[in-house]
Amino acid sequence: MSAETRDVPPDDVAERALADLVTELDRCVDELVLARARAEKLLLERRAGRPWLDLVTGEARPLIVERISTVLAALSAAGHVWRREQAAALQAEQISINRIAALFGVTRQRISALLKENGTEPTAEEA
């Protein structure tokens, strides 16, 4: 289920960020499959009358909630890098900040902040 692998040009930071995002998505899907299986098991045990404290204290680490928190943090980080690099790549193709903001569904100020993180400043007419 992974994207076709090929060498990413070293100067294509956005493509590298996207490839990293795909890798992280695959890892997170695997983690969530494990979390779901454990959740189903806990649900069966709860429906059989087992108390919540027994379920939580009997669950092996990482707990389901820990797995979910880890996945959310990983996706947030990888998604942020991808969003930032994609915005920079679009700006390098002469796409305006207003247009990028519309494409991303965010404000132009958010795009400006992303580009500043990346060391890319908006042009005078876009600022």
Average pLDDT taken over every residue of the chain: 90
Q: What's the confidence (pLDDT) of residue 126?
A: 53
Collapsing DSSP to helix, strand or coil, 107 comes out as coil
The pLDDT-based confidence of 112 (bands split at 50, 70, 90) is: very high
Distance between CA atoms of residues 118 and 89, nearest Å: 11
The pLDDT-based confidence of 1 (bands split at 50, 70, 90) is: very low
Number of CB atoms found within 10 A of residue 86's CB: 20
**Residue 67 clears pLDDT 50, i.e. is over it:** yes
Q: What's the confidence (pLDDT) of residue 118?
A: 79
**Residue 84 clears pLDDT 70, i.e. is over it:** yes
Entry pTM: 0.79
Q: pLDDT tens digits, residue range 7-34?
A: 656 689 999 999 999 999 999 999 999 9
Average pLDDT over residues 31-42: 96
